[in-house]
Amino acid sequence: MIKIGFSVATPEVNTPLLPAQQGELGPNLDILAELGYDGVEVSIRQPAEIDPENLKKEISSRNLEVASIHTAAIGFQDKIWLCHENKDIRDEGMKRLKGAIDLAAYFNVDVIIGSFRGLLSSGSERSQSLDWMYGAFRDGSQYAAEKKAKILFEPQNRAGINFGFTAQDGVAFCKEIDSPGIGIMLDTFHMNIEDTSFSASIFDARDYLHYLQISDSNRKYPGGGHVPFRDIISSLQAINFSGYLSLQIERIPDFKTSAKLGINHLRSLLG
């Protein structure tokens, strides 16, 4: 069964770069529960400082569940990435990734890695940075597999990253990593920019696809732009996808209104 989630952040996350609902967690969860969401994508910074039992209680008491653990705030707010020329930054990035995997394993969900992967170096340093990138994902996926979880590689548009743009890029990367601990997460906002066809990309990624982030062409709620969500959902149903569609959107005109419009649009298409 396809479920619908919404991206929220734990209270220590505070960055305008992250399109997730931030601030006090409880009131945000109350609104999502009222609107009928199934779960929440939890964006974190410091996984070692999160009490998983308290987080579970806060979420499950509202009849919600954790849909995934999201890592972008680690880079956005703390300037920590998996691929970086500074070894101390790389080491701290791996430490936090393993903490995120531990947290995800507690909830039996996966970890999303988008911009947190970092950037490849240019020129003569590119080869070395590719080793760092591949090494981080090999180590991370091995650790995730040991914990019976996955790290999900997110293709993104080239405005923010310089490695892994399309679903097909993600599939090729997963094949090279070759681990049961890696998969793909697709984001409709980035797909609208980089991918030739939503349906073709979903079909091509079907063996690795575990999760989707949902926003419209303008980063607003689904239905607020021109992304063909009916075709996307039909394609997902055709491959028997049973994961989460998680809204990661600009909260325009406000959080509650956009969350309501978004879930109503998706529910109307899911039937």
Q: Where are the alpha helices (DSSP H) in 109-228?
A: 126-146, 167-177, 188-194, 198-204
Distance CA 266, CA 271 (A): 9
Residue 216 scores a pLDDT above 90: yes
Cis omega (within 30 of 0) for bond into 253: yes
Q: Which residues contact 119 (CB under 8 A, 6 or more apart)?
A: 81, 83, 84, 129, 161, 162, 163
* pLDDT value at 54 more than 90: yes
Q: Within 13 Å, how many C-alpha atoms sit on residue 262's CB side? A: 30
Distances (CA, A) of 40 to 43, 122, 269: 9, 37, 20
pTM, two decimals, is 0.97
What's the half-sphere exposure (Cβ side, CA atoms, 13 Å) at 21?
27
Q: What angle do CA 22, 159, 182 make, to 5 degrees?
A: 70
Mean pLDDT of 233-256: 98
pLDDT tens-digit readout, 116-141: 999 999 988 999 999 999 999 999 99
What pLDDT score does 63 carry? 99
Residues 40-61: what's their mean pLDDT? 98
> Residue 271 is encoded by which pair of tokens?
């039937």
User: pLDDT for 62-73, tens place per residue?
Assistant: 999 999 999 999
Domain ranges of the chain: 3-270
What average pLDDT does range 257-265 have in this prediction?
99
For residue 271, is pLDDT > 90?
no
Helix (H, G, I), strand (E, B), or coil: what is residue 64? coil
Decide if pLDDT at 186 tops 90: yes
Q: What is the pLDDT of residues 137-150, one digit of tens each?
A: 999 999 999 999 99
Calpha distance 41→20 (Å, rounded): 9
Distance CA 53, CA 55 (A): 5
What is the architecture of the domain spanning 3-270?
Alpha-Beta Barrel (3.20)
221, pLDDT greater than 90: yes
Taken in order 137, 139, 142, 148, the sign of the CA dihedral is: negative
- Percent of the chain scoring above 70 in pLDDT: 100
pLDDT band, very low/low/confident/very high, at 109 (cuts 50, 70, 90): very high
| Model confidence at 256: pLDDT above 90 | yes
Q: How high is the pLDDT of residue 217?
A: 98
**How wide is the angle at C-alpha 118 spanned by C-alphas 216 and 99, nearest 5°?**
95
CA–CA gap between residue 194 and residue 188 (Å, rounded): 10
Residues 167 and 201 sit within 8 Å (Cβ to Cβ): yes
237: which residues sit within 8 A by CB, 6+ positions away? 2
